[in-house]
Amino acid sequence: MKAQDISRVAVIGAGTMGPGIAGEFARAGCDVRLVDLGPDILRRAMKRLADAHQALIEAKLLSAPKAEAALKSIRPLTSLETACDQVQLLVEALPEDMALKQEMFHRFDALCPEGAVLASNTSGLSITEIARATKRPKLVAGMHFWNPPHIMPLVEVTKGKETSDSTAELVVEMCRRMGKRPILVRHDIPGFIGNRLQYAVLREALHLLSEGIASAEDIDTAMTAGPGLRYGLLGPLRTADLGGLDVYHTISKYLLAELNSDSSPPAVLAEFVEKGRLGAKTGGGFYEYPKEELGKVIRQRDRVLLGFLKVLKEQKGG
């Protein structure tokens, strides 16, 4: 099977990620079945996807007729049996719970046609372990979209121990067909690549904060007005190339030993969680988010991200 032959896709789970993932496939011309436990959840999911399409239309990244056609090609369903019938690719976006994912992959395996590829949007659970619940581990891969999936270009395609090269290539090619920026994670390691990079930075940022070296705002500015700009464009390795590897080598000699290397969850994070300060969703974390402010912050984030997306699409020639 080639990526261009994929026309029937199922997305299982219509929470934060599922609707956006379904939209990516639908806009690439696939018939999509979107599954969740009840009609209310599915109605909310379709509304969220319509809102995401509206943001793409306003950013001139999508036309209204294409958005309408894409929504029409998604069939919201509560029946897993109907969703799996004749499907060629299934993407699971269920809660991050290994036992649940294994139970569901066992069912997908029984219900989907032989030869269908089963992918998981897990943020970092083992693809090898998930695949063990099936009789087709060669056809199981990680397909980790980033949130919000209608904007973020990255998809991490992860090979489990038994995933075949052709399955991984097919998933990578399908991502390209959707206009995404896939990367291949050759070995099934916790956190794949994106979250490992993200948590390495977060650990140091929390360490600097708890040591009182700088305020939360100044630590964030150190990234957004400094290395974050270059990383956004070049990534850490090309940035090092441009700085000179000899320079990075010299600095590594004294700096790496100074960096935080704790392997337990940061105490400062545990303190905030204990106090119920979970971030934007509870109105406060390292910053305050009054209700009216939260919508503003998210809209501003999405506007800036959509601007980046336009630049990336222009770089690729559309």
Ligand X SMILES: NC(=O)c1ccc[n+]([C@@H]2O[C@H](COP(=O)([O-])OP(=O)(O)OC[C@H]3O[C@@H](n4cnc5c(N)ncnc54)[C@H](O)[C@@H]3O)[C@@H](O)[C@H]2O)c1
Residues with catalytic annotation?
Answer: 123, 144, 156, 195
Kindly tell me which residue out of 88, 122, 134, 158 binds ligand X, with binding defined by CB under 6 A: 122
Does residue 83 belong to the site contacting ligand X (CB under 6 A)?
no
Does residue 96 belong to the site contacting ligand X (CB under 6 A)?
yes
Does residue 121 belong to the site contacting ligand X (CB under 6 A)?
yes
**CB nearer ligand X, residue 19 or residue 137:** 19
The tokens for 314 are 């222009």
Kindly tell me which residue out of 4, 16, 63, 215 binds ligand X, with binding defined by CB under 6 A: 16
* Cα-to-chain-centroid distance, residue 251: 33
Least distance from ligand X to the Cβ atom of residue 146, Å: 6
**Between 132 and 161, how does the x/- string for binding to ligand X read (CB under 6 A)?**
------------xxxx--------------
Least distance from ligand X to the Cβ atom of residue 24, Å: 13
**CB nearer ligand X, residue 15 or residue 284:** 15
How far, in Å, CA of 70 to CA of 67, rounded? 5
Least distance from ligand X to the Cβ atom of residue 298, Å: 13
- Of residues 20 through 79, those in contact with ligand X by CB under 6 A are 35-37, 41
The tokens for 145 are 């979209």
For the residues of the chain, what is the DSSP string, one character each? --GGG--EEEEE--SSSHHHHHHHHHHTT-EEEEE-SSHHHHHHHHHHHHHHHHHHHHTTSS-HHHHHHHHHTEEEES-HHHHHTT-SEEEE---S-HHHHHHHHHHHHHHSPTT-EEEE--SSS-HHHHHTTSS-GGGEEEEEE-SSTTT--EEEEEE-TT--HHHHHHHHHHHHHTT-EEEEE-S--TTTTHHHHHHHHHHHHHHHHHTTSS-HHHHHHHHHTTHHHHHHHHHHHHHHHHH-HHHHHHHHHHHGGGS----SPPHHHHHHHHTT--BGGGTBSSSB--HHHHHHHHHHHHHHHHHHHHHHHHHTT-
Does residue 116 belong to the site contacting ligand X (CB under 6 A)?
no
Q: How far lies 297's CA from each of 261, 300, 302, in Å?
A: 32, 5, 9
**CB nearer ligand X, residue 4 or residue 147:** 147
Interface region with ligand X, contact rule CB under 6 A, candidates 53-61, 88-96, 243-251, 286-294: 88-96
Interface region with ligand X, contact rule CB under 6 A, candidates 115-123, 179-187, 212-220, 300-308: 115-123
Interface region with ligand X, contact rule CB under 6 A, candidates 48-56, 117-125, 135-143, 260-268: 117-125
Does residue 13 belong to the site contacting ligand X (CB under 6 A)?
yes
Least distance from ligand X to the Cβ atom of residue 240, Å: 27
How far, in Å, CA of 23 to CA of 154, rounded? 15
Kindly tell me which residue out of 55, 94, 171, 206 binds ligand X, with binding defined by CB under 6 A: 94
Least distance from ligand X to the Cβ atom of residue 149, Å: 8
Least distance from ligand X to the Cβ atom of residue 2, Å: 26
Residue nearest to ligand X (CB): 15
Q: Which residues bind ligand X (CB under 6 A)?
A: 12-18, 35-37, 41, 93-96, 121-123, 144-147
